[in-house]
Chain A
């Protein structure tokens, strides 16, 4: 169970022969993820860590009955890769690549919406459903299996918070990186709805940051539609100045939009506890769960 990926996930790695693709394919295999094929145009017929490599996604899907893809190809080629994955019938596409132009990301999301594809990212660490499937680049050792679902806009901060949860015995069901770009495939609202339906998820942590209004929309959704499980949030960037990109392309306060204060007050108005420091997320969740 968990959301987005599980033991039934059969993944293709696009860009498998590159440094990152090859390195993380090994780690995903070690975790137990079913990586059934890799794709690098021009390298068809070879193998990497025992995984057969094809020239096209179509071949890989036809031979191996794959249902998901993880993309490591460089930004100028990532749109081609994402469209190829979607048109080959894959319904879950994780885009690790950073620095994809906004215009390209908008086109990918429009297509995904049309064809019923879930895009995770871009600029995401990926998704991990504990002890079932890791489709991403996160270090597996900070996580342990349990009932907390995590949705986050950042990578290392998520590992920080997950490690804190794990250390007090609060394991995780699924951790999803939404991605650090302005245009990403999943919003906090999308993921909250998935966690609401997932039986393995008993509580949820949302890890937001400055930029955009995905956090405010999640708060609004919880206010109007309710959420049946304990929920805690953290927002990074209280000290961030206006108009500066803080590492992520999407982490920028534009005018009055996207401030940490706006997000924190929206969460609090919706009755969601907001942790002051990363380490407080575990404490707040333990309180909410009565432990």
Chain B
């Protein structure tokens, strides 16, 4: 789960890391009031969970409170990369001597957290890695001890700081790591961490991604994700979330349902290998009930872009008869509104087949043959 910038900055403050003075505004009037209290120069930042916000025009500079109010009006309730801007962060502008990058993420192959820092901040870490790889400092963190103060001093030193500045940067780094641990962050970044002309450090932008599997430990955010993101979800995505189905919308016209993440991904790939184009990824998971299968089929049936539906089930803990009953249940709810190709093998296969063939629905047993059939159906325009 991604946190908004203002939320991430709120956490940074809680951990003693300096952020610009400012507040969240949901209307131009409110933005104007905040701006008057802060005084110019100011910055107005759209609070949206999309990448490349700056390039999309979501960060604007104001030279007076009235200017800030005008810019807030310009941003609020417009769409940025398809997402509505519901609030803006109005902040004082921090003078920049230098921009630094600090982050904590997970190194999958080393099975550890890794702290990443660079004396070249301000752009995406991948751009930094491509442009100046020699300026990136990485420290693997021992999971049983965490960050020790000397690690932090080493990092600060390698970024080129010494004396008091080294110590204050090291403290920021230790606190950032603690915050990452306390909030189960998959990724947390201060970028840029601005070094001001006076020599202090201020976190001017921040990102934090909470590990979805750990959300049960952070109930406040779990509540928030449901409230604030619902408005941005497609009806299919919302239905999938309600039914605890793994669903991803894609650009093509073949609706896909399968069991198991790997099998569904391979199904999408196979469709494409025969010249088709998948409209979605939908995994009903292991041991899906008829109800869950019916819900999955409703989701794909209701996607206007899906012209044909491909159901690919290999029953292990999933029972083919249960899947077949789910397909009939979907028929009862909304009818077979789209042509379907069904591949059904594995546990209780015979029963599943019988249920479907009794109502005239053919069932195939090879995934490749079924994928080919899907593409033929599309091409013939049946």
Interface residues of A (CB under 8 A from B): 75-76, 99-107, 109-111, 113-114, 125, 137-139, 142, 152-160, 163, 180, 182-183, 187, 207, 209-214, 217, 234, 236-241, 243-251, 255-256, 260, 276-279
Contact = CB atoms under 8 A, between A and B. Distances in A.
B303 interface: no
Given A75-B213, A238-B272, A255-B126, 12 more contacts: A101-B213, A106-B112, A110-B142, A156-B262, A159-B346, A210-B265, A212-B108, A212-B109, A236-B269, A241-B248, A243-B51, A248-B262
Main secondary structure of the interface of B (DSSP, over half): mixed
A239 B248 contact: no
A247 B265 contact: yes
A102 B106 contact: yes
- Nearest first, the 3 closest Cβ-Cβ pairs linking A and B are A154-B262, A247-B261, A156-B260
B317 interface: yes
A110 B144 contact: yes
Contact of B250 (A163, A180, A241): A241
A103 B314 contact: no
Contact of A277 (B126, B281, B316, B368): B368
Contacts of A99: 212-213
A159 B266 contact: no
Contacts of A237: 265, 269
Given A155-B286, A277-B368, A251 B261 contact: yes
Given A247-B264, A278-B266, A139 B106 contact: no
Interface residues of B, number: 53
B111 A139 contact: no
25 contacts: A76-B216, A99-B212, A101-B211, A102-B211, A104-B214, A106-B106, A106-B111, A106-B112, A110-B143, A137-B317, A139-B315, A152-B262, A154-B260, A155-B286, A156-B316, A157-B260, A160-B314, A187-B109, A238-B268, A238-B269, A239-B268, A244-B248, A246-B248, A247-B264, A279-B366
Contact of A160 (B211, B263, B273): B263
Interface of B: 51, 106, 108-109, 111-113, 124, 126, 142-144, 181, 184, 186, 211-214, 216-217, 246, 248, 250, 258-266, 268-273, 278, 281, 283, 286, 314-317, 345-347, 366-368
A4 to B, nearest CB: 18
Interface centre among A75, A153, A279 (most CB of B within 10 A): A279
B214 A239 contact: no
A189 to B, nearest CB: 9
Given A152-B262, A187-B109, A107 B144 contact: yes
A138 to B, nearest CB: 6
A213 B265 contact: no
Contacts of B214: 101-104
Contacts of A209: 261-262, 265
Given A139-B315, A155-B316, A278-B270, A247 B184 contact: no
Contacts of B317: 137, 139
B263 A154 contact: yes
A182 B105 CA distance: 12
Contacts of B246: 245-247
Contacts of B126: 255-256
Nearest to A27: B317
Nearest to A237: B265
Contacts of A243: 51
A160 B367 CA distance: 9
Nearest to B315: A139
Contacts of B286: 137, 155-156
Contacts of A210: 265
Given A101-B211, A241-B250, A246-B281, A183 B260 contact: no
A155 B283 CA distance: 12
Contact of A103 (B211, B278, B283, B367): B211
B367 A278 contact: yes
Nearest to A187: B109
Nearest to B211: A102
A155 B109 contact: no
Interface centre among B108, B246, B314, B366 (most CB of A within 10 A): B108
Nearest to B181: A103
Contact of B273 (A153, A159, A276): A276
A169 B109 CA distance: 35
Nearest to A140: B316
B115 to A, nearest CB: 14
Contacts of B271: 239
Nearest to B263: A156
Contacts of A106: 106, 111-113, 143
Contact of B266 (A76, A105, A236): A236
B108 A250 contact: yes
Contacts of B281: 240, 244, 246-247
A108 B108 CA distance: 14
Contacts of A240: 265, 268, 281
Given A101-B211, A102-B214, A154 B261 contact: yes
A204 B143 CA distance: 33
A250 B315 CA distance: 23
Given A213-B109, A256-B126, A102 B213 contact: yes
Interface centre among A99, A137, A152, A156 (most CB of B within 10 A): A156
A139 B262 contact: no
B262 A153 contact: yes
Contacts of B262: 152-158, 180, 207, 209, 236, 247-248, 251
A237 to B, nearest CB: 5
Contacts of B108: 182-183, 211-214, 250
A150 B368 CA distance: 21
A94 B252 CA distance: 38
Nearest to A244: B248
Contacts of B250: 239, 241
Interface centre among B109, B266, B286, B368 (most CB of A within 10 A): B266
Interface centre among B106, B217, B368 (most CB of A within 10 A): B106
